[in-house]
Structure 1
Amino acid sequence: MSILFVATYLFFGFQAPIDSIPKKDTTPIYSILTENQRIEISETYEVVHNIERNFTILSPEGLAHAFTSVFYDKLNKIESVEIEITDPLSGKTIEKAKTKDMTDAAIYSSSSIFDDNRHKYFEVKSSKFPVQVTIKIETTSASNFQLRDWVPVHRYNQKVIKSKLTVAYPEHIGLRYKAVNLLGEKSENKVDNRLEVTWEETNLPVQTPDMKKEDDHKLLLAPVGFAMGDYVGKMEDWSGLAAWQFKLNEGRKALPANFEAKLKGMVANVDTDYEKIQILYEYLQKNYRYVSIQLGIGGWQTMTATDVVKYAYGDCKGLTNLMQAMLKSVGIVSNYTLVQAGKDADDIETDLPSNQFNHVILQVPMGDAASPVWLECTSNSLPAGFLGDFTKNRHVLVIDGQGGYLTKTPSYNSFDWNTIHSKNTVKIDLEGNATISTKIKVDGNFAEDMLMVKNYLDTRQQRDYFNRNSPVAGLIINQYELSVDHKDSLLLADLSYEGVIQKFVQNTAKRMILKPFLGKLTDEMLLNNSLNQIDEYQIELPEVMEAENLAENLILEEEGIKVTLRTSLEGKSLSVNREIHLSLGEDISEESKTELIKRINALGSSNFYFIKNTAALRHD
């Protein structure tokens, strides 16, 4: 789905006196910026956006701040760009550039075959500093559907002296906004039937790369009334946006009669709706290819289901619309659903109805208070009902024909979805080397990682991946086997391998030292705040020894937390078993989670010491 945006990274300085440029600061400053932006929305929903930025670049690092990129496509047009670079000491112009002097390039992904997203860009170059840059840009958009966020500070190590935004619009169209961490002033002015709202920020703190993104200054903007092409809508609430999206796709679900008959035949003898969903979803996955299609209003309006069937490909909108049509043909109702996708994507601002989405999935209500089945129609491998980390645990807009509503996708945070069970047999020889045989079973979220490994890495890359991610350092895998399956919507993966570990233990004249080998818990393993992990090690020592420091069972137990480490030695056989059961609240802070991980990892961080030539050995 296309997000109508103007991707500009325009960083320009103001013409400051040379003696006002900071000489020394604890936080380095690479550029100094003043900015003025004005957005005009017309009665016909068109948008004119004027930007003027002036800045002083103080060092080579600041040249990156001056990189200028202006987006355009069928709905967004570049009217003019003027750039002037001057020497602040002499006042002489070093270089001037206009739109025709900028480099033109496509913006596309490897999956796109239909795409009109392009940008013009310009790089400022200079060998002497300071240098001053002034830029003026005017763009127009045929639609006010997507209004860009205003972010006064564009770059780290940039000093913003003043940044100003004015939005002018007809009163009947309306404007909604949400200010986040703004420190300046807001003013409003009404002229006839038009309103002007102005925000001004001055002397903002210099930002550094360690700043938390939630601390950034920004203004989120959204229209109330909007239009794209002939499709007019209102976003007074989420239902209004959903109703507009429904109207945009209305009449695009018709299927060829022979294809519809084929679908009905595929599920004729199937009893449950879930089985029908599963059969049709797997048919979609095997027979239709995902591509990105971003052409004007086509960034939001789906291809017809008939065209997707004909060409055997579609984007997220087209494949989801086809899947919805396929289910409808066998009597199953489903809902087209908008989502902000991405593994690390932030959740949307639920109190600001607006376009905050970049992807489409399908919701299938199951009735009888059962949870809905969610379908990621661009995936050719996920089981029906599992979205994976691309769209899990975030607010989505469900479009149900009566309007729509916000709900949340599954978080997959129960033990069923976050299970790891490993069994390891290790044999140590007299030189301290070891052979290892391991079987690992993972369910749910962790199985998704194995699915990606299986589908996207070749045999050599898979072996390297398992070597790198082994809890035991220095593992060299000789052979391995990976299988991925599912039970209904639950992904299951089984990995087994055999390998060797050089110098697994350290030998001295009187002792053998076994270094820590239990896998470390990581932040990524607790992304879902849930973990059910069991690690079993059966280690055969090279001879009978006496354990010098085998601790009694170690236990860490608190609310939602239970970790146990059990060790025992019988003859040459050392058993080490660790169980981790974590069910953490959603409100746990990242700092608390990091501290918990350290405490858990500390339980298995000690060396094991064994005394050679023990009494048991002499007795034998």
Structure 2
Amino acid sequence: MFLSPLSLVNILFALASFGEVIDQNEAIKSNEDPLIYSLLEENQRIEILDNFEVIHKIEQKHTILSHEGLRHAFTSIFYDKLNSIENFQLQVIDPASGKTLSKAKTKDMVDAAIYSRSSIFDDNRHKYYEVKSHQFPVEVHVEIETKASSNFQLDEWVPVHYYNQKVTKSTLTVVYPEQIGLRYKALNLLGEHTEKKNGNQIEMTWVETDLPVQLPDLKKEDDHKLLLAPLSFALGDYVGTMEDWAGLAAWQYKLNEGRRSLSEDFEEKLHEMVAGAESDFEKVQILYDYLQKNYRYVSIQLGIGGWQTMSASDVVSYAYGDCKGLTNLMQAMLKAVNIPSNYTLVYAGENADDIETDLPSNQFNHVILQVPLQDGKDPVWLECTSNSLPAGFLGSFTKNRHVLVITEDGGYLTKTPSYNSFDWNAIHSQNEVKIDGSGNATIATQMKIDGNFAEDLLGVQRYLDSREQKDYLHRNSPVSGLVINEYQLELERKDSLLIAGLSYDGFIQRFVQNTAKRMILKPFLGKLTEDMLVNNSLMQVDEYQIELPEVMEAENLAELLVLEEEGVHVTLSSSLEGKNLSVNREIKLSLSDDFSEEDKEELIRKINALGSTNFYFIKNTSALTHE
């Protein structure tokens, strides 16, 4: 994975959740208004030079009202080979007396590396300074100047940096040469925007005043934000345009040109590996499996190397690479056996937001591979940093989002698979339960779990030891109070589909409640959760064969319960023969993309309500006297 350049002023605790309750004397608060930990006045100026360098100046005046507000004055400035810190000055002032309490400059900041968990080559660093004070209110005046050698990535402007912060005024001015150009997208801005021209220089200014105080329940899509992107840009010696997505793709193609060469010996080895394959997809599977078993992922973030891949031959020599290097090698291997593929940029992350498709710009942090197939078949997508996913399954890290496909002719925007059909969202469980006379029970369960849900168990298998795996199964058991004795978890690939097989034997204490005349079986069906509907699709079948301790009469057995709505079909059936109780639940959900979160919550409530009733059984009382 590569990192897109970080914000030049990266406030590490931005948008952190502060739940502390503080004294009313320590912050501004009325009966209706939220707590305010600090006030902010800020002026930012971004100047793009003719040589594509960017000067970014920031002036801030924080009025810190409480101890919690000190976090708002925490300053962190990113730097690397492409970004430098030109100036930092800070003053802490007593507003009552005007006396300066403390000062700080760049030399007083703490210098630290910014590590990614798997990075071994990295030049990402930051300097930070933490303000300390025991009196309030205090004013913190900050001046920052940074210089970037490239305008490839321009910082987004977010006027409100923190929850519980009152922004009284925030100004952004952007100055740029007309020939370089600039595009922008304003999201939820409430203030003024002006533009003027001085010779060949364009100056744009945005002013936001008296913005609402934000709290942790703020929805991301409601935040105030301005996105910026250049028309023309340069990174190192590579000049490009972002007027459209094809322009950015053409620049990326040029950046990696000539880096896919492999030795003749290695290419010959690849041909031997796929010699018996009967289809292109089978060849892709073979080579992808080889990549997964023989090359490990590391992060490499060195200057332009954050965007330019290692050569394929170097990845072969070192047996490692980042997302760019591994994807580039996979593309080179496929090319060697005459299968075309496309290097593809994506913004990756678990449940990450999609990019702004109407603002061509660098919005990416990862690379995957697209392999078009013949005969109109859907392309095969490869996550080349994974050594466990099957070919054609991207998983939650990059599914269902827009990506920029890089081709020799430029490129185009498309979308990765959503994996929202029943095949990718299926759970089938078979459970045999035996209840003894004391009300305890043993259970033997076999589960088949497909696609997205199997990905979760893949993580359990790979990253948890046996004790942690058992703890995970206990926590996620559909039957409350289950203690697992033995379990077995196996994962396999069926073409692109990941399939998990889980079986376990366990013990449940007090599974039922006994009275003299009745046995009460409490609800035991697993509850549907919001996480299970992330993909708007679910096929779940739960079958229970329950052996009662003796022959009983069912008092309230409902043979069939049905919930039927558009895209929703749920049935719950039960029957009793002798002392054998059968309970089967089938859930089939195929929800539209515009199905709201509130509608999902209500649907989940109704489905769970179907299995929430106790089962009552009348015992054989011929040998009993009175209850």
Give the TM-score normalised by the residue count of structure 1: 0.97
Larger displacement relative to structure 2 (118-127 or 348-357): 118-127
Q: Is the partner of 1:204 in helix, strand or coil? A: coil
Instruction: Write the distance in 2 (CA, Å) between the matches of 1:610 and 1:385.
Output: 50
Whether the aligned pair in 1 keeps the contact of 2:10 and 2:78 (CA below 8 Å) is no
Whether the aligned pair in 1 keeps the contact of 2:428 and 2:449 (CA below 8 Å) is yes
Whether the aligned pair in 1 keeps the contact of 2:517 and 2:621 (CA below 8 Å) is no
Residues 263-300 of structure 1 show CA distances to partners (whole Å, capped at 9, x for unaligned) of: 01111222210010000000000000100000000000
Aligned with 1:289 (options 296, 305, 325): 296
Aligned with 1:252 (options 259, 268, 285): 259
How far the C-alpha of 1:184 sits from its partner, in A, is 0.2
Residues 503-556 of structure 1 show CA distances to partners (whole Å, capped at 9, x for unaligned) of: 111122222211111011111101110000000011111122222211231100
Q: Is the partner of 1:24 in helix, strand or coil? A: coil
Whether the aligned pair in 2 keeps the contact of 1:529 and 1:584 (CA below 8 Å) is yes
| Letter matched to residue 228 of structure 2 | L
Aligned with 2:175 (options 158, 168, 190): 168
Q: Does 1:399 align with 2:406?
A: yes
Whether the aligned pair in 1 keeps the contact of 2:346 and 2:398 (CA below 8 Å) is yes
How far the C-alpha of 1:94 sits from its partner, in A, is 1.2
Aligned with 2:99 (options 92, 100, 103): 92
Whether the aligned pair in 2 keeps the contact of 1:544 and 1:614 (CA below 8 Å) is no
Q: Does 1:266 align with 2:266?
A: no
Which residue of structure 2 lines up, in the alignment, with residue 529 of structure 1?
A: 536
Whether the aligned pair in 1 keeps the contact of 2:253 and 2:408 (CA below 8 Å) is yes
How far the C-alpha of 1:569 sits from its partner, in A, is 1.3
Aligned with 1:545 (options 516, 540, 552): 552
Instruction: Write the distance in 2 (CA, Å) between the matches of 1:7 and 1:474.
Output: 51
Which residue of structure 1 lines up, in the alignment, with residue 501 of structure 2?
A: 494
Instruction: Write the distance in 1 (CA, Å) between the matches of 2:76 and 2:461.
Output: 38
Whether the aligned pair in 1 keeps the contact of 2:287 and 2:334 (CA below 8 Å) is yes
**What are the within-5 Å matches in structure 2 for residues 292-303 of structure 1?**
292-303=299-310
Which residue of structure 2 lines up, in the alignment, with residue 215 of structure 1?
A: 222
**What are the within-5 Å matches in structure 2 for residues 375-454 of structure 1?**
375-454=382-461
Aligned with 1:559 (options 566, 571, 583): 566
Q: Is the partner of 1:127 in helix, strand or coil? A: coil
Q: Does 1:64 align with 2:65?
A: no
How far the C-alpha of 1:23 sits from its partner, in A, is 5.0
Whether the aligned pair in 2 keeps the contact of 1:545 and 1:614 (CA below 8 Å) is no
**What are the within-5 Å matches in structure 2 for residues 299-314 of structure 1?**
299-314=306-321
Q: Does 1:335 align with 2:336?
A: no
Instruction: Write the distance in 1 (CA, Å) between the matches of 2:499 and 2:381.
Output: 18
How far the C-alpha of 1:224 sits from its partner, in A, is 0.5
Q: Percent same amino acid at aligned positions?
A: 72
Residues 16-66 of structure 1 show CA distances to partners (whole Å, capped at 9, x for unaligned) of: xxx998453531000001100000000000000000010111111111111
Which residue of structure 2 lines up, in the alignment, with residue 15 of structure 1?
A: none
How far the C-alpha of 1:594 sits from its partner, in A, is 1.2
Aligned with 2:202 (options 181, 184, 195): 195
Which residue of structure 2 lines up, in the alignment, with residue 459 of structure 1?
A: 466
Residues 120-145 of structure 1 show CA distances to partners (whole Å, capped at 9, x for unaligned) of: 11111112211110100000000000
| Total equivalences in the alignment | 612
Instruction: Write the distance in 1 (CA, Å) between the matches of 2:520 and 2:9.
Output: 59
| Letter matched to residue 405 of structure 2 | V
Which residue of structure 1 lines up, in the alignment, with residue 332 of structure 2?
A: 325
Instruction: Write the distance in 1 (CA, Å) between the matches of 2:265 and 2:624.
Output: 80
Whether the aligned pair in 1 keeps the contact of 2:404 and 2:411 (CA below 8 Å) is yes
Q: Does 1:142 align with 2:149?
A: yes
How far the C-alpha of 1:161 sits from its partner, in A, is 0.3
Aligned with 1:352 (options 347, 359, 367): 359
Give the TM-score normalised by the residue count of structure 2: 0.96
Stretches (4+) displaced over 4 A? 9-12, 614-618
Whether the aligned pair in 1 keeps the contact of 2:26 and 2:66 (CA below 8 Å) is no
| Letter matched to residue 439 of structure 2 | G
Which residue of structure 1 lines up, in the alignment, with residue 19 of structure 2?
A: none
Q: Does 1:83 align with 2:90?
A: yes
Which residue of structure 2 lines up, in the alignment, with residue 5 of structure 1?
A: 6
Q: Does 1:586 align with 2:593?
A: yes
Q: Does 1:30 align with 2:33?
A: no
Q: Is the partner of 2:210 in helix, strand or coil? A: strand
Instruction: Write the distance in 1 (CA, Å) between the matches of 2:413 and 2:38.
Output: 42
Q: CA RMSD in A?
A: 1.6
| Letter matched to residue 123 of structure 1 | E
Whether the aligned pair in 2 keeps the contact of 1:285 and 1:379 (CA below 8 Å) is yes
How far the C-alpha of 1:360 sits from its partner, in A, is 0.1
Instruction: Write the distance in 1 (CA, Å) between the matches of 2:90 and 2:30.
Output: 29
Whether the aligned pair in 2 keeps the contact of 1:9 and 1:67 (CA below 8 Å) is no
Which residue of structure 2 lines up, in the alignment, with residue 206 of structure 1?
A: 213
Q: Does 1:365 align with 2:372?
A: yes
Q: Is the partner of 1:357 in helix, strand or coil? A: coil
| Letter matched to residue 6 of structure 2 | F
| Letter matched to residue 302 of structure 1 | T
Which residue of structure 2 lines up, in the alignment, with residue 315 of structure 1?
A: 322
Whether the aligned pair in 1 keeps the contact of 2:29 and 2:35 (CA below 8 Å) is no
Instruction: Write the distance in 2 (CA, Å) between the matches of 1:338 and 1:608.
Output: 54
Whether the aligned pair in 2 keeps the contact of 1:5 and 1:147 (CA below 8 Å) is no
Residues 172-228 of structure 1 show CA distances to partners (whole Å, capped at 9, x for unaligned) of: 100000000000000001000000000000000001111111110000100010000
Whether the aligned pair in 2 keeps the contact of 1:544 and 1:617 (CA below 8 Å) is no
Q: Is the partner of 1:285 in helix, strand or coil? A: helix
Q: Does 1:115 align with 2:122?
A: yes
Q: Does 1:607 align with 2:608?
A: no
Q: Does 1:152 align with 2:159?
A: yes
Whether the aligned pair in 1 keeps the contact of 2:26 and 2:65 (CA below 8 Å) is no
| Letter matched to residue 58 of structure 2 | I
Larger displacement relative to structure 2 (452-461 or 331-340): 452-461
Instruction: Write the distance in 2 (CA, Å) between the matches of 1:514 and 1:143.
Output: 68
Distance 1:599-1:20 versus aligned 2 partners, 3 A rule: closer
Whether the aligned pair in 2 keeps the contact of 1:546 and 1:614 (CA below 8 Å) is no
Aligned with 2:581 (options 555, 574, 584): 574
| Letter matched to residue 319 of structure 2 | A
Which residue of structure 2 lines up, in the alignment, with residue 16 of structure 1?
A: none
5+ residue gaps, structure 2, are 15-24
Which residue of structure 2 lines up, in the alignment, with residue 106 of structure 1?
A: 113
How far the C-alpha of 1:463 sits from its partner, in A, is 0.8
Whether the aligned pair in 1 keeps the contact of 2:171 and 2:208 (CA below 8 Å) is yes
Instruction: Write the distance in 2 (CA, Å) between the matches of 1:513 and 1:306.
Output: 68
Whether the aligned pair in 1 keeps the contact of 2:401 and 2:415 (CA below 8 Å) is yes
Instruction: Write the distance in 2 (CA, Å) between the matches of 1:5 and 1:428.
Output: 59
5+ residue gaps, structure 1, are 13-18
| Letter matched to residue 6 of structure 1 | S
Q: Does 1:242 align with 2:249?
A: yes
Residues 139-166 of structure 1 show CA distances to partners (whole Å, capped at 9, x for unaligned) of: 0000000001100001011110000000
Instruction: Write the distance in 1 (CA, Å) between the matches of 2:315 and 2:97.
Output: 62
